[in-house]
A and B are shown apart, each in its own frame.
Chain A
Amino acid sequence: MKKLIALLSLTAFLIGGCQDEKKGHESYTPSYSTANKKIGLVTDVGSIDDKSFNQTSWEGIVDFAETNGLAIETNYKYFQPSGGSNAGTQDYITAINNAINWGAEIVVCPGFLFEVAIYEIQEKNKNIGFVLIDGTPNEGNYEDVYVAPNTVSILFKEQESGFLAGYAAVKDGFTSLGFMGGMAVPAVVRFGIGFIAGAYLAAKENNNTEFSFNKDHYTYVGKFEADPNIKTRAESWYNAGVEVIFAAAGGAGSSVLAAAQEGQDKWMIGVDKDQASDSPRVLTSATKGVHSATVLALESFYQSNFDVGGQILNLGAVDDGVGLPLGESWRFSSFTIEEYQSLYDKLVDGTINVPSTHETLKTYVEGLGYTLNLSFEDIGM
């Protein structure tokens, strides 16, 4: 009986404790120190050369540092959390603290994996600036999303980038498309949704009433690393007639690329940054401007007392935050840069509003006169 009472009171205590934590957030005005010019970057499970947002945000810092004559190690430095690919919130908090102890005045955290870590730590370090890329600080279930005055949360309209890529591919004459995402996390899902929407719009403009995005050729491979299984899957899609696969899967993209190289006239679409130099089989890349967004946040911090602090920025075509690489990376045979520009302008002026959820995608595709055969579960969001 005693044990039972003890257990009950413990449970009550725990529940009570949890409820207590949901208190309001006090507002405050941070006073930053910017004299030493010390910028820290904490990587997530990726690394500063993962061809993805860890790398592009690091490049943004390097870019800012070189413009302002800062030195690596003294003025900017990156920190990797312990725990490798299994790093959790606690590892991130430790790594952020390491950066702060090193003297960082502003800490850049690329990736949604930092959401909870930043949520926990932002109010405890009121005079440190935090840049969270691809996520918004929350307690873990999005019940309490809170961007403190000293934090900026930078999101991208990945759907617009995917939209441009899907549109371009179909306009260029491809009719059979595939999509391989790394995992069904918001940023990756938005790439996929935009890709489908763009493909349908171009199909309509091409008067291709038969066009349909095959649900079998839309998947999440479950990892962001190369694996023979991913290559086998890509190969089986190519053998089944798919001509181009959009791989929004970080390192796993190189397995798709390997399959494309071995096939005949098969293409792969890269993600996040321009991947044209990886292989001549990279048709284009659906990029997002993590690089320029990082520079923007740093400039705001050092030149305008972090005026973007406390905000959620949602960067899209309007802000030049997404796009396809031009110049030597332009590998389309019939789709022209002029056509691309005119589509881009439509995104900028709001003529086209790219869907970002399954529901809006369904409406969009039906509005064009097609039926979407991918279910909510297929898309994952």
Chain B
Amino acid sequence: MELIYNILQATFFTMTPLLVVALGGLFSERSGVVNIALEGIMVMGAFIGIFVISMIEGGSIPGQLVLIIGVIVGGLVGLIFSVFHAFASINLKADQTISGTALNIFAPAVAIFVARSMLGGSKEIKFLTVFRIKRVPFLTDIPILGRIFFEDFYITFYVGLIILLISWFVLYKTRLGLRIRACGENPHAADSVGINIYKIRYIGVLTSGFLAGMGGVIFIISASQAFAASVSGYGFLAIAVLIFGNWQPKKILFASFFFGLMTTLAAMYTEIPLLKGLGLSEEFYNMIPYIATLVVLALLSKSSKAPKAVGVIYDKGAR
């Protein structure tokens, strides 16, 4: 039983950045813009977000609030950084994949450069606060559920769930959401009824920048104790989660949970008697998340539905 709690707790912190960043990708792709720059945006968000955390931690502001401030700052930086992608791919009609790749290459380089030249010679930004919450009065004492959800957790997990709810609500219950989805499916039709495609796509890309920037900070605080100009490819994994989740918020939640669970099982296999009993070589255990994803994708790919106009540059004149 103890083991199951540990597995779930680890799954939650692994899946949180994936969930948040994939939801970011969702807004962008649903509006019709491929955002492969998520990785780079995460790096930028994490860079400034962690920098702010390292500056204000240990002062009069309580730890969890420091974290929330850091996450929001990371989000704002991500938003600003994604303007480049939006401008290039919407106004300048650049190829979206190329523009995104450019940002991915640019981000770690600029983070290292700025960190080294301005922040005292090292690309590493350390922070010392432990953000994990050991337990909460009353809530942790709830049988079973208390231990799963309110023991050894990060507040960011709940931030992620709130973002999920908001995303679902915005996309499916508001006028803006309908417009975003319309832009991703058939921008010409949407344009013909008076929707400003450029504006909607800007909203989509900037929202994805905001969420990816937040995701960067969330990633670093739960994976490490220092920012070192990398998010280990989690931006790309988030794109995989987005596709795996079939561009739908609920399925993205499932996909990120599934992927988080599989990577956790792979990482913890030596402590799980059932898995260890298989006696496989370590390399095979490390493959588990990817093999499982391939299998599930193969089974579900028939119903996979990408937004129709995603990646297509919108040109009013083209008919």
Contact = CB atoms under 8 A, between A and B. Distances in A.
B225 A232 contact: no
B219 A236 contact: no
A227 B123 contact: no
A225 B230 contact: yes
Given A225-B230, A228-B14, A228-B219, A278 B268 contact: no
Contacts of A49: 116, 121-124
A1 interface: no
A47 B263 CA distance: 28
A240 B271 contact: yes
Contacts, number: 93
A238 to B, nearest CB: 10
Nearest to A235: B10
A236 B270 CA distance: 9
Contacts of A207: none
A261 B130 contact: yes
Given A49-B123, A236-B10, A261 B225 contact: yes
B60 interface: no
Q: Which DSSP category, helix, strand, loop or mixed, fits chain B's interface?
A: helix
B303 interface: no
B57 to A, nearest CB: 13
B222 A228 contact: yes
A262 B124 contact: no
A217 B270 contact: yes
Contact of A232 (B121, B226, B267): B267
Contact of A239 (B116, B220, B271): B271
A278 B14 CA distance: 23
Nearest to B232: A227
A51 interface: yes
A232 B272 CA distance: 13
B224 A255 contact: yes
A222 interface: yes
Interface in B216-236: 219-220, 222-226, 228, 230, 232
Nearest to B282: A219
Residue among A228, A235, A240, A258 with the most chain B CB within 10 A?
A: A228
A310 interface: no
Given A236-B268, A236-B270, A279-B128, A228 B225 contact: no
Contact of B224 (A216, A223, A235, A254): A254
A231 B6 CA distance: 13
Interface in A219-248: 219, 222-223, 225-233, 235-237, 239-240
B266 interface: yes
Given A47-B123, A216-B271, A227-B223, 17 more contacts: A49-B121, A49-B122, A216-B270, A216-B276, A222-B286, A225-B232, A226-B220, A226-B223, A229-B14, A229-B263, A229-B267, A232-B264, A236-B270, A237-B270, A240-B271, A251-B228, A278-B126
Interface of B: 2, 6, 10, 13-14, 17, 112, 116, 121-124, 126, 128, 130, 132, 152, 219-220, 222-226, 228, 230, 232, 263-264, 266-268, 270-271, 276, 281-282, 286
